[in-house]
Structure 1
Amino acid sequence: MTGAPTAGLRVGNCSGFYGDRFSAMREMLTGGPLDVLTGDYLAELTMLILGRDRMKDPSRGYAKTFLRQLEENLGLAKDNGVTIVANAGGLNPAGLADALRELADRLGLDVTIAHVEGDDLLPRAGELNLGSPLTANAYLGAWGIAECLRAGADVVVTGRVTDASVIVGPAAAHFGWARDDYDALAGAVAAGHVIECGAQATGGNYAFFTEHAIGTPGFPIAEIAADGSSVITKHDGTGGAVTVGTVTAQLLYEIAGARYPGPDVTARFDTIELAQDGPDRVRLSGVRGEPPPPTLKVCLNRLGGFRNEVTFVLTGLDIDAKAALVREQLETALKANPPAEVRWTLGRTDHADADTEEAASALLHCAVKDADPKVAGRAFSGAAIELALASYPGFHVTAPPSDASPYGVYTDAYVDAREVPHVAVLPDGTRVDIAAATEIRALSDVDDPALPEPLPQGPARRAPLGLVAGARSGDKGGSANVGVWARTDEAWRWLAHTLTTAELRTLLPETAELPVRRYLLPNLRAVNFVVDGLLGEGVSSQARFDPQAKALGEWLRSRQVDIPEVLL
């Protein structure tokens, strides 16, 4: 990958997860100029899915969607001079690289393919005290990608790298950044964090979506400068919107405190400055960087057992009594061979004097887990259905009985970065070892910044928090984060003093007994909360109604608080 060091780099994204819009790659390649097209295909749950694929066939373990996308678009990318970088290699980046070479030969294209490996620690799990997982993958950084690009690769595929690395690597190669150009690297990390999740940066899943014509949002682009600053934008004529609000929302997605650690740099998210730079253009600048921590995060997945569920529909009067009856009956039926875990949830979706049957109905959900698929399978669902003619009036369920399905358990671990190989396999097959960072700094929280001056006392009105604040939430293993931001300085002065940890626990009772941490990000007029344990053993364990906490922020915004009239 070449280019004058001062020339900007236009990096687009076409995937935020394995299953994202298939046509996005072509849309990005035909919608306007790009230098690099990236894709993020991996998540904690995806690694589990790929691990199960690899159990069935050792030659699998990568994102097959990416291969199908390139079958349609590899020639287009080559013609347009666009380099492609993606983490679609999953558990088998070498296998994906070989498949891409076969594809290029079949299509008659002169395309050079490289890959990055070393993240898969499964063969060394015992040695590294990681237990006996199904998958064990360290989060690598950007320098292997940069090495492949400097060697002239047209396509680079990786295994588990940090989500932003697919953006940082091309920028580092293009501008010739050194390992200690921390501010530039941190700026690229921030830009990468914004665009790696696809259309969430262009109006998708946005709290104030009613203020924009979202339609089908285009995918985001970061125009990265030599100093690491960037402009977040999208192709002209595509749907959605790029505003300070949409970029703020994505910056708050799945983070913790002001220090955002990575294998190459710790980015200071409390230094980020945002400014509208024209229609659908947001300038992101001022990001400071620090040396990375000495350890790399490792994503561990194991098979946890088997799960099953049934949802009883309770209609009309006496909802609580109906729920109590069927619960007592089912628990009695299961006493002879009870599942290891039984969880009941009653969703009061019913309305009094409803004009439709659905609006008159509540949902009683029962989920079970057990190591034995027979106990969690037909023994459970059969017992539930046997109550059909012997329980509450109006008995029915939302789906027929089913067999148990396996579920996974996610945990994270940390290993010394020097213990993890990081290898760039260049287009000619040369293997280049990428050294771990030599300058490191233990991660610590930033001291709490000073609170802004509170708003003067005045009349207030009981109203939903979301009238004056946006929110974005997500999952980090068994924990969840919810970032909340204000859109004016006055609203920030109120929010910073009002939305305390205690207030969050009051507004979201599910968090009341859990560890909750609050972080202030004044530059973004935001507070970020991390709730440990809300998601149990991670998304694949399905521990709650919203297993990835994607709507936790919207629940919070719907809660009523006393809001100063001046803000309304």
Structure 2
Amino acid sequence: MTNLPLTSGASGAASDRRLGFSQLAAGDPDDPVDVLIGDFISEGNMTSLAARKAMGAEGGAFEATFVEAITPALGDIAKHGIKVVVNAGASDTQLLHRIILDLVKAQQLSLKVAWISGDEVLPTLLERSASNPQAFTNLYTGETLASWPFKPLYAQAYLGGLGIATALQGGADIVICGRVSDASLVIGAAAWWHAWDRTHLPQLAKALVAGHLIECSTYITGGNFTGFKELEEGGRWLDLGFPITEIGADGDVVITKEKRRGGIVSVETCTAQLLYEIQGPWYFNSDVTAILDNVAFTQIGKDRVSMTGVQCAPPPPTTKVGVTAHGGFHAEMIYFLVGLDIPTKARMFEQQVRHALHATRPQLSLLEFQLLGTPAANSHTQAAATVPLRIVAQARTAAPLAPPKFARLIIDLVMCAYPGGTFHFDMRQGVPRPVYEYFVTRLPQTGVRQRVHMHDGEVVEVPPPSVTRVFPAQQPSAPRFAGRSREHFGATVRAPLGRVAHARSGDKGSDANVGFFVRGAEEYEWLRVLLSVDRMKELLAGEYNGKAIDRFELPNVRAVHFLLHDHLDRGVSCTSTVDFLGKNVAEFLRAREVDVPRRFLERRSGAKL
């Protein structure tokens, strides 16, 4: 379209603030934005909305929070000529398209709305799996779809961004997508703006990483940031500004944010978001593969960071597919334990609960007892001395978890319990709710029929890439850094790892990733030596599940990254854990104590230790 940089602002996630689209659209001329990106679909609502679609639930199976967000913004979107690209269609993209058309008509606007199909692939998977039971393997567990003990309800392929580019090129103002990958939204916008096609792999790779950086909204402007304490001064952790990325004709990327809002864009916030949810140095997309080893960030101004070093390769011949199945039901209860002898109190009550549930225990697929924390020593308040005991159960049917067979029996133990035994008075979690199993596999891109449904009724086919590359199943991994010995760094002090290192973690299916990074070159050399795979197993301690751990380094951002295989108990839609998104893996590990060079801590505190 033009050689001027594309500016793309992002509001991400169904749980993001609803004001994102209105705020960004009204920002002209102070914060001009050419395209608004909305990444509304995660593995959590992807599975729940897929189940709604499969069961024919009333009200549709799209992400309704997008309708709330876009309605008050439409006037400014039309006034300023801003494009909108979202994946909020989920499992009902065509229905959401009709709803947005009605909104545009009701506000008497002339905005053109297109939608994209092709992500729904369950019939293709079932047909190919029936003819070849080995065709589809779970990327996390290794089991085949044919041997999976759950009945698939729905399957969605992750589409690339060139369908979006086609829609925008055809005149669309708003493009409604289903399961396009998170970063494909930015790829599509940039490819349209700069007239890139599949031959522009270096540019597409940079746009892919730019999309990854802003897909999670304010995660790159101070949200979920381990350096958050530096934002307290001046109230910068209030009203975090939404991110904006500028993408030039050759793919050069600058990350910034709304000028008059809180938050910060720095090398550290960009590094943290780069590390979020990646699986290794190869970052796959249906349009291109970005290679991350040499990514670098440079602060070029206040809240302005440039990105360099992204390398490219052709996309893989396959694309990721998420399969949803009804997995059963989940219920939980909370008791509170206070003060002394917490482990013994918990052991007593666990034995009492197991005895009370003995009749239904064979029908439960899961029964866990989780102490959430430890009481503060010599607590000044009763709240600080209180620890919740979470009792979690799952079953293939709702009957064993019905209140008379689960919640009621646990409540009735209160008169038999440990000293001070008290249950949480809000018992709604004790009512069984459905959970959904999630199977992740790959489908050849040739098996996906992506179509753009233009505003004027024309349907345009988007062919799969003709040039692809088959990558090894295992990402590059080096278990340790053969550098200096730890003694080289001098006298040490026992301290939490987080006193020196930032970190960011996240989820992908049942895997968790966590990346650590530091600011100084000497600190990075120490971090590389310290953080081997064996040391990660030690730091995980009771959380280590015996599964494989991959490790790679990103030297230009002074980071060491780990992929913890199968760490999250089947993933967000059916997990029994509290940290169902893997976001607190990093915080747990940063709190673990290691031998930190004394001078590192003295440098930070400005005082001798």
- Aligned equivalents of 1:287, 1:317: Cα separation in 2: 54
Deviates more, 1:168-177 or 1:440-449: 440-449
Whether the 8 Å CA contact 1:322–1:392 is kept in 2: the answer is yes
Query: 1:522: Cα distance to partner?
Result: 1.3
Q: 2:249 aligns to what SS in structure 1?
A: coil
Query: 1:537: Cα distance to partner?
Result: 1.2
Counterparts of 1:133-148 in structure 2, within 5 Å, are 133-148=152-167
Deviates more, 1:474-483 or 1:541-550: 541-550
Counterparts of 1:355-504 in structure 2, within 5 Å, are 355-378=380-403, 379-401=405-427, 402-444=430-472, 445-446=475-476, 448=478, 451=481, 453-454=483-484, 456-504=488-536
Query: 1:123: Cα distance to partner?
Result: 3.6
Match of 1:296 among 285, 300, 319: 319
Match of 1:9 among 2, 6, 17: 6
- Aligned equivalents of 2:337, 2:565: Cα separation in 1: 33
Query: 1:390: Cα distance to partner?
Result: 1.6
Match of 1:235 among 258, 264, 272: 258
Q: One-letter code of the match for 2:448? A: V
- Aligned equivalents of 1:10, 1:190: Cα separation in 2: 15
Whether the 8 Å CA contact 2:62–2:96 is kept in 1: the answer is yes
- Aligned equivalents of 1:341, 1:448: Cα separation in 2: 36
Deviates more, 1:53-62 or 1:530-539: 53-62
Q: One-letter code of the match for 2:69? A: Q
Q: Unaligned 5+ residue runs, structure 2?
A: 130-144, 602-609
Q: One-letter code of the match for 2:280? A: G
Query: 1:466: Cα distance to partner?
Result: 1.0
Query: 1:400: Cα distance to partner?
Result: 4.2
Please give the per-residue CA displacement for 1:331-366, whole angstroms capped at 9, x wherever unaligned: 111112212321111234223432322222222221
Whether the 8 Å CA contact 2:489–2:526 is kept in 1: the answer is no
Deviates more, 1:141-150 or 1:101-110: 101-110
Match of 1:183 among 171, 190, 202: 202
Please give the per-residue CA displacement for 1:177-199, whole angstroms capped at 9, x wherever unaligned: 12021110010011100001000
Deviates more, 1:331-340 or 1:149-158: 331-340
- Aligned equivalents of 1:322, 1:460: Cα separation in 2: 38
Match of 1:563 among 588, 593, 596: 596
Deviates more, 1:348-357 or 1:171-180: 348-357
- Aligned equivalents of 2:296, 2:338: Cα separation in 1: 52
Whether the 8 Å CA contact 1:312–1:398 is kept in 2: the answer is yes
Deviates more, 1:320-329 or 1:214-223: 320-329
Equivalent position of 1:118 in the other structure: 118
- Aligned equivalents of 2:176, 2:470: Cα separation in 1: 30
1:353 aligns with 2:392: no
Q: One-letter code of the match for 2:561? A: N
Q: One-letter code of the match for 1:235? A: E
Whether the 8 Å CA contact 1:142–1:168 is kept in 2: the answer is yes
TM-score by length of 1: 0.96
Equivalent position of 1:41 in the other structure: 40
Task: Work out the number of aligned pairs and report it.
Answer: 564
Whether the 8 Å CA contact 2:333–2:392 is kept in 1: the answer is yes
- Aligned equivalents of 1:506, 1:452: Cα separation in 2: 19
Whether the 8 Å CA contact 1:464–1:558 is kept in 2: the answer is yes
- Aligned equivalents of 1:166, 1:424: Cα separation in 2: 14
Query: 1:162: Cα distance to partner?
Result: 0.9
Whether the 8 Å CA contact 2:160–2:286 is kept in 1: the answer is yes
Query: 1:431: Cα distance to partner?
Result: 1.0
Equivalent position of 2:605 in the other structure: none
Counterparts of 1:274-293 in structure 2, within 5 Å, are 274-293=297-316
- Aligned equivalents of 1:355, 1:271: Cα separation in 2: 50
Query: 1:59: Cα distance to partner?
Result: 6.2
- Aligned equivalents of 2:479, 2:546: Cα separation in 1: 26
- Aligned equivalents of 1:359, 1:450: Cα separation in 2: 40
1:507 aligns with 2:504: no
Q: 1:323 to 1:412 in 2, by over 3 A?
A: same
- Aligned equivalents of 1:449, 1:372: Cα separation in 2: 43
Match of 2:550 among 517, 521, 525: 517
Equivalent position of 1:94 in the other structure: 94
Q: 2:416 aligns to what SS in structure 1?
A: coil
Query: 1:372: Cα distance to partner?
Result: 2.4
Whether the 8 Å CA contact 2:290–2:311 is kept in 1: the answer is yes
Whether the 8 Å CA contact 2:479–2:550 is kept in 1: the answer is no
Whether the 8 Å CA contact 2:477–2:551 is kept in 1: the answer is no
Equivalent position of 1:153 in the other structure: 172
Whether the 8 Å CA contact 1:259–1:269 is kept in 2: the answer is yes
Deviates more, 1:257-266 or 1:448-457: 448-457
Equivalent position of 2:211 in the other structure: 192
- Aligned equivalents of 1:349, 1:537: Cα separation in 2: 26
- Aligned equivalents of 2:303, 2:426: Cα separation in 1: 47
- Aligned equivalents of 1:450, 1:225: Cα separation in 2: 38
Q: One-letter code of the match for 1:393? A: P
Query: 1:283: Cα distance to partner?
Result: 0.2
Query: 1:327: Cα distance to partner?
Result: 1.2
Query: 1:85: Cα distance to partner?
Result: 0.6
Q: 1:562 aligns to what SS in structure 2?
A: strand
- Aligned equivalents of 1:58, 1:336: Cα separation in 2: 37
Whether the 8 Å CA contact 2:477–2:552 is kept in 1: the answer is no
Cα root mean square deviation, aligned: 1.7
Deviates more, 1:432-441 or 1:125-134: 125-134
Equivalent position of 2:138 in the other structure: none
Q: 1:450 to 1:273 in 2, by over 3 A?
A: farther
Whether the 8 Å CA contact 1:506–1:512 is kept in 2: the answer is no
Whether the 8 Å CA contact 2:165–2:188 is kept in 1: the answer is yes
TM-score by length of 2: 0.90
1:167 aligns with 2:163: no
Please give the per-residue CA displacement for 1:81-107, whole angstroms capped at 9, x wherever unaligned: 111111111112111111111111111
Name the % identity. Answer: 37
Q: One-letter code of the match for 2:254? A: V
- Aligned equivalents of 1:38, 1:347: Cα separation in 2: 37
Whether the 8 Å CA contact 1:7–1:226 is kept in 2: the answer is yes
Q: 1:360 to 1:40 in 2, by over 3 A?
A: same
Query: 1:487: Cα distance to partner?
Result: 1.1
- Aligned equivalents of 1:414, 1:281: Cα separation in 2: 37
Query: 1:299: Cα distance to partner?
Result: 1.1
- Aligned equivalents of 2:202, 2:586: Cα separation in 1: 31
- Aligned equivalents of 1:207, 1:257: Cα separation in 2: 21
Query: 1:450: Cα distance to partner?
Result: 9.9
- Aligned equivalents of 1:293, 1:96: Cα separation in 2: 30
Q: One-letter code of the match for 1:223? A: E
Q: One-letter code of the match for 1:29? A: A
Whether the 8 Å CA contact 2:323–2:439 is kept in 1: the answer is yes
Match of 1:20 among 16, 30, 35: 16
Q: One-letter code of the match for 2:186? A: I
- Aligned equivalents of 1:216, 1:377: Cα separation in 2: 43
- Aligned equivalents of 1:313, 1:538: Cα separation in 2: 27
Whether the 8 Å CA contact 1:272–1:284 is kept in 2: the answer is yes
Please give the per-residue CA displacement for 1:187-240, whole angstroms capped at 9, x wherever unaligned: 001110000100001011101111123222111000001111110001211110
Q: One-letter code of the match for 1:146? A: A
Please give the per-residue CA displacement for 1:353-412, whole angstroms capped at 9, x wherever unaligned: 323222222222211111121212311111111111122221111244432111111220
Q: 1:400 to 1:59 in 2, by over 3 A?
A: closer
